[in-house]
């Protein structure tokens, strides 16, 4: 799959058309999100497991402005377009949507995924969109993360 064809900036009308087409084909839609600043094995394992939960994996990638607000002014290290294209190039990923809000709540409401996925470091009560997804019969799944594998850990290691 060509990474440029599966990467888009969040626009409700575009997402709604995409999702309508997938639902007509009776595809089970899985959604997750993250920064994906320095891609590492933990990301690959997480996204591969998420993809196995359904037919189509849509990944929300935080735009640079939102990353700076909740990570640090020095992050992300790679710009949003590069991060989104890298994620889109992964075999497990079908579509990538860049979003600029503090949380992916609007994106989740536009997609209405069958399954919402986050890392097991989150409690279900902390997962943005979990209550919404459960309200229409969707499922929320937590995936165990690979111990010691994170962009923050890599950045610290590189700093030594």
How far apart CA 31 and CA 111 sit, in angstroms, is: 8
Taking 50 as the threshold, does the pLDDT of residue 1 lie above it? no
Mean pLDDT throughout 125-144? 96
Query: By C-alpha distance, which of 12, 98, 1, 89 is closest to 43?
Result: 89
Q: pLDDT grade, residue 155 (50/70/90)?
A: low
How far apart CA 1 and CA 40 sit, in angstroms, is: 20
- Whole-prediction pTM: 0.88
Query: By C-alpha distance, which of 65, 62, 142 is closest to 98?
Result: 62
CB-neighbour burial class of residue 52 (10 A; exposed 0-12, middle 13-18, buried 19+): exposed
Taking 90 as the threshold, does the pLDDT of residue 128 lie above it? yes
The pLDDT tens digits of the residues spanning 53-107 come to 999 999 999 997 888 777 778 777 889 999 999 999 999 999 999 998 989 999 9
The pLDDT tens digits of the residues spanning 59-69 come to 999 997 888 77
How far apart CA 64 and CA 77 sit, in angstroms, is: 9
């Amino acid at each position: 799959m060509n990474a440029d064809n599966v990467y888009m900036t969040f626009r409700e009308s575009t997402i709604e058309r995409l999702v309508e087409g997938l639902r007509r084909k009776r595809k089970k839609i899985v959604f997750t999100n993250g920064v994906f600043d320095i891609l590492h094995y933990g990301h690959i394992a997480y996204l591969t497991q998420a993809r196995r939960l359904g037919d189509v994996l849509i990944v929300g990638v935080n735009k640079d402005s939102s990353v700076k607000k909740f990570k640090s002014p020095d992050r992300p290290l790679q710009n949003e377009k590069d991060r989104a294209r890298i994620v889109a190039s992964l075999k497990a990923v079908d579509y990538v949507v860049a979003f600029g809000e503090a949380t992916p709540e609007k994106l989740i409401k536009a997609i209405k995924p069958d399954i919402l996925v986050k890392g097991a470091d989150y409690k279900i009560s902390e997962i943005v969109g979990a209550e919404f997804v459960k309200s229409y019969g969707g499922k929320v799944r937590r995936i165990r993360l690979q111990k010691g594998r994170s962009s923050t850990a890599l950045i610290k290691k590189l700093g030594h």
